[in-house]
Chain A
Amino acid sequence: MSRGEAPADQSFALIEKQRGALRIVALNPEAARLGLEPGQALADARGRLPDLAAFPHDPLADAALLTRLARICGDYTPSVQCDPPQGLLLDVTGCAHLHGGEAQMRDHLVARVAAEGLTVHTGLAKTPQGARALARFGGSDLSALPLAALDCEAETLHALTRAGFRRLGDLSRVSRKALAARFGMATTTRLARLLGEEDAHIVPEQARERVFAEARFAEPIGRTDDVLDVIEHLLERTAVTLRERGEGGRAFRARLHRSDGHVARLAVETGAPTRDPALVLRLLRERIDGLADPLDPGFGYDAIDLLIVHAEALPDRQVGLEAERKRPDDLGPLLDRLAVRHGPERVLRFVACNSHTPERAGTLRGLRDDRETTPWPEGQEDEPPLRPLVLLDPPQRVRVTNALPEGPPRQFSWRGKAHSVLRHEGPERLAAEWWHRRDGYQGNPGLTRDYYRVEDEAGHRFWLFRHGLYGLEVEHPDWYIHGLFA
Chain B
Amino acid sequence: MGVVPLGETWLDQALAGGLRADGLHEFHAADPLDGATALGFALLVARLRRELDGRPLIWARQDDALGRPYGPGLVELGLDPDAVTLLMLKDGKALLRAGLDCVRDGAAAAVLLELHGRQPLLDLTATRRLALAGAASATMVLLARAQAPPSSSVLSPSAAHTRWQVAAAPSRVLPADAPGQPAFALTLLRRRGGGEGLSITLEWNRDQVSFRARTPLPGAVPAVAASGAADEQRRSTG
Contact of A329 among B37, B54, B90, B179 (CB under 8 A): B54
Give a binary string over B23-53; 1 marks a CB under 8 Å from any A CB, 0 the rest. Answer: 0000000010111110111011000000001
- Residue contact B36 to A364, C-beta cutoff 8 Å: no
Give A400 to B36 CA distance when docked, in angstroms. 22
Contact of B72 among A337, A361, A392, A423 (CB under 8 A): A361
- Residue contact B107 to A330, C-beta cutoff 8 Å: yes
- Residue contact B75 to A485, C-beta cutoff 8 Å: no
- Is B98 engaged at the interface, CB distance under 8 Å to the other chain? yes
- Is A461 engaged at the interface, CB distance under 8 Å to the other chain? yes
| Nearest A-chain residue to B203, judged by Cβ | A384
Residues of B within 8 A of A346 (CB): 87-89
Give a binary string over B59-99; 1 marks a CB under 8 Å from any A CB, 0 the rest. Answer: 00000001111111111111011101111111000100010
| Nearest B-chain residue to A486, judged by Cβ | B40
- Is B3 engaged at the interface, CB distance under 8 Å to the other chain? no
Residues of A within 8 A of B233 (CB): 382
- Is A299 engaged at the interface, CB distance under 8 Å to the other chain? no
B199 to nearest A CB, angstroms?
A: 15
Residues of A within 8 A of B34 (CB): 460
Identify which of residues 254-305 in chain A touch chain B, using a CB-to-CB cut-off of 8 Å: none
Give A423 to B172 CA distance when docked, in angstroms. 10
Identify which of residues 165-221 in chain B touch chain A, using a CB-to-CB cut-off of 8 Å: 167-171, 173-174, 176-185, 204, 206-207
Contact of A485 among B36, B53, B237 (CB under 8 A): B36
- Is A190 engaged at the interface, CB distance under 8 Å to the other chain? no
Chain B: number of interface residues, binned into ranges: 35 or more
Contact of B81 among A358, A376, A392 (CB under 8 A): A376
Give a binary string over B129-168; 1 marks a CB under 8 Å from any A CB, 0 the rest. Answer: 0000000000000000000000000000000000000011
- Residue contact A376 to B171, C-beta cutoff 8 Å: no
| Nearest A-chain residue to B36, judged by Cβ | A484
- Residue contact A362 to B72, C-beta cutoff 8 Å: yes
- Residue contact A384 to B74, C-beta cutoff 8 Å: no
- Is B17 engaged at the interface, CB distance under 8 Å to the other chain? no
- Is A422 engaged at the interface, CB distance under 8 Å to the other chain? yes
- Residue contact B86 to A364, C-beta cutoff 8 Å: yes
- Is A338 engaged at the interface, CB distance under 8 Å to the other chain? yes
- Residue contact B82 to A425, C-beta cutoff 8 Å: no
Identify which of residues 438-482 in chain A touch chain B, using a CB-to-CB cut-off of 8 Å: 453-455, 457-461
Give A379 to B44 CA distance when docked, in angstroms. 15
B232 to nearest A CB, angstroms?
A: 12
- Is B18 engaged at the interface, CB distance under 8 Å to the other chain? no
Residues of A within 8 A of B86 (CB): 347-350, 364
Contact of B36 among A382, A390, A424 (CB under 8 A): A390
B37 to nearest A CB, angstroms?
A: 6
Contact of B182 among A361, A376, A458, A485 (CB under 8 A): A485
B187 to nearest A CB, angstroms?
A: 14
Residues of B within 8 A of A387 (CB): 70, 72-73, 75-76
Residues of A within 8 A of B19 (CB): none
Residues of B within 8 A of A484 (CB): 35-36, 66-67
| Nearest B-chain residue to A326, judged by Cβ | B107
- Is B115 engaged at the interface, CB distance under 8 Å to the other chain? no
Given contacts A361-B72, A393-B67, contact A382 B107 (CB under 8 A): no
Give A382 to B67 CA distance when docked, in angstroms. 27
- Residue contact B98 to A341, C-beta cutoff 8 Å: yes
Residues of A within 8 A of B40 (CB): 389, 485-486
Would you call the interface of chain A mostly helix, strand, loop, or mixed? Answer: mixed
Residues of A within 8 A of B90 (CB): 342
- Is A381 engaged at the interface, CB distance under 8 Å to the other chain? yes
- Residue contact A352 to B72, C-beta cutoff 8 Å: yes
- Is A47 engaged at the interface, CB distance under 8 Å to the other chain? no
Give a binary string over A407-432; 1 marks a CB under 8 Å from any B CB, 0 the rest. Answer: 00000000001000011110000000
Residues of B within 8 A of A388 (CB): 36, 70, 73
Given contacts A459-B169, A461-B171, contact A329 B56 (CB under 8 A): yes
- Residue contact A389 to B73, C-beta cutoff 8 Å: yes
- Residue contact B71 to A348, C-beta cutoff 8 Å: no
- Is A125 engaged at the interface, CB distance under 8 Å to the other chain? no
- Residue contact B85 to A335, C-beta cutoff 8 Å: yes
Contact of A424 among B74, B105, B177 (CB under 8 A): B177
- Residue contact B71 to A351, C-beta cutoff 8 Å: yes
- Residue contact A331 to B107, C-beta cutoff 8 Å: yes
- Residue contact A379 to B182, C-beta cutoff 8 Å: no
- Is A386 engaged at the interface, CB distance under 8 Å to the other chain? yes
Give A330 to B107 CA distance when docked, in angstroms. 6
17 residue pairs from A and B, CB less than 8 Å apart: A329-B55, A334-B102, A348-B88, A350-B82, A362-B71, A363-B71, A376-B75, A376-B82, A378-B75, A391-B67, A425-B179, A458-B167, A458-B168, A461-B171, A483-B70, A486-B43, A486-B73
Query: 19 other contacts beyond A362-B71, A387-B76, with CB at 8 A cut-off?
Result: A328-B107, A329-B107, A337-B101, A347-B85, A350-B71, A362-B81, A364-B86, A367-B85, A381-B237, A384-B179, A384-B182, A385-B73, A389-B69, A389-B77, A390-B36, A390-B68, A453-B178, A485-B40, A486-B36
Q: Nearest 8 A-B pairs (CB), nearest first?
A: A486-B40, A385-B76, A362-B71, A350-B81, A425-B178, A350-B71, A484-B36, A390-B67
